[in-house]
Amino acid sequence: MIAMRSGRFHQTWMGGRANAARWLATFVSSYNFQRPNQALNNCTPAEEVMNP
C-alpha cells in the first residue's frame, strides 16, 4: 500500500525537491500529532508513545 502511494506521489508531483520536503514534513506532523487512530483508542501515535 505504501509503495503504491509512493509511486503515485512520484508520478504526479510537480514541485521541486524543497516543496516535496515541506509537504512530507507537514504530512508526517499531521499523521503523528493530529490524526487520531482507531487502533490506538482514538489517540494520535504521539499520544500513544508519550502515555504508555
| Count of domains forming the chain | 1
**What is the predicted pLDDT for the residue at 21?**
84
Residues 6+ apart with CB under 8 A from 37: 43, 44, 45, 48
pLDDT in tens, 8-38: 666 666 777 788 888 889 999 998 999 998 9
More confident residue, 34 or 4: 34
Neighbours of 13 (CB within 10 A): 12
**What is the predicted pLDDT for the residue at 10?**
64
Global pTM value:
0.59
Residue with cell 516543496: 19
**What is the predicted pLDDT for the residue at 12?**
67
Owning domain of residue 31: 2-50
